[in-house]
Amino acid sequence: MNGLGGLNKSEHGVGIGLVQLQLPLTVTKADLARQTQLVVDLVAKARRNQPGMDLVVFPEYALHGLSMDINPEIMCDLDGPEVAAFKTACRENAIWGCFSIMERNPDGMPYNSGIVIDDQGELKLYYRKMHPWVPVEPWEPGDLGIPVIDGPKGAKLALIICHDGMFPEMARECAYKGAEIMIRTAGYTAPIRQSWRFTNQSNAFCNLMVTASVCMCGSDGTFDSMGEGMICDFEGTIIAHGTAGRVNEIITAEVRPDLVREARRGWGVENNIYQLGHRGYVAVAGGAGDAPYSYMHDLVAGTYRLPWEDEVKVTDGTPCGFEKPTRKYGESAKLAAE
């Protein structure tokens, strides 16, 4: 299924490149401009690296690094120069690209956003991280859901970001909406290495879905990101895995969405994405299609509460130096201040 890292393209294959980007330190607008140009240059490198590559993926924090700086001067906009540069790079190199921006939010804290641009330079996917890595990250919770698009060669494509992938519900939602390939971009550091690996594999297997995941790489003098570019097939097998610590390496593989479709339609044993909604179909016609899980009902009702809820010790960002928030989710900063 790998095609020697995508060197041998099959008729139905999609070539993916994951960039283990050097972790930057971005403080000023000039830093942001330099980092934007570096990403643009690496889009061109990806195209030169492998003419058959269909999609190049950059990690979370590719422009901003891991400082968690919310200085408005270095926040980005969808219609800003950074995204415009990415669009031009994809168009000029005839390649799809996945990019990360910290997005300005006039109504609250910035969003941690991801975008996918097609080979004509058009924005095709726009996602805001739903599960910021609390208590470390200050970003506003995403409010756009998980979009699934027709990606390269018609493959159904979804994007989640970093900590999102630790919630099995996120990958399940991607698959439920039809995703055959799920991208996961991240800025994780070395302590997360093991959980990164097995969640990428389990997200793939539990949903019969390809996962393509990559972190930032190297050191900014304070933090050390791990790279760990990884592509898993729908059986959860790792088919490409980056060299730990090798900055700007592009991890490549060919994946086969057509085989994902075949498995989802043809598997009996372990077709878990189907069987979740058709429990015990051997015993009862069509299987049980109920929702026997308490947490699902409680989330919908707004009553989600753990048995140990009152004993949880970290419930805001104060341990990481952030002020305790008073604004409720969905409430704008302006209204909350009035």
Structural tokens at position 288: 């049980």
Question: How far apart are alpha carbons 166 and 282 in whole angstroms?
Answer: 32
168 close to 207: Cβ distance less than 8 angstroms: no
Q: Which residues, 6+ apart, have CB-to-CB distance to 264 below 8 Å?
A: 208, 271, 273, 274
How big is the chain, counted in residues? 338
Which residues form the catalytic set? 60, 129, 162
224 close to 191: Cβ distance less than 8 angstroms: no
Compute the Cα dihedral for 294, 295, 297, 298 and give only its sign. Answer: positive
Among candidate residues 226, 238, 144, the one with its CA nearest the CA of residue 193 = 226
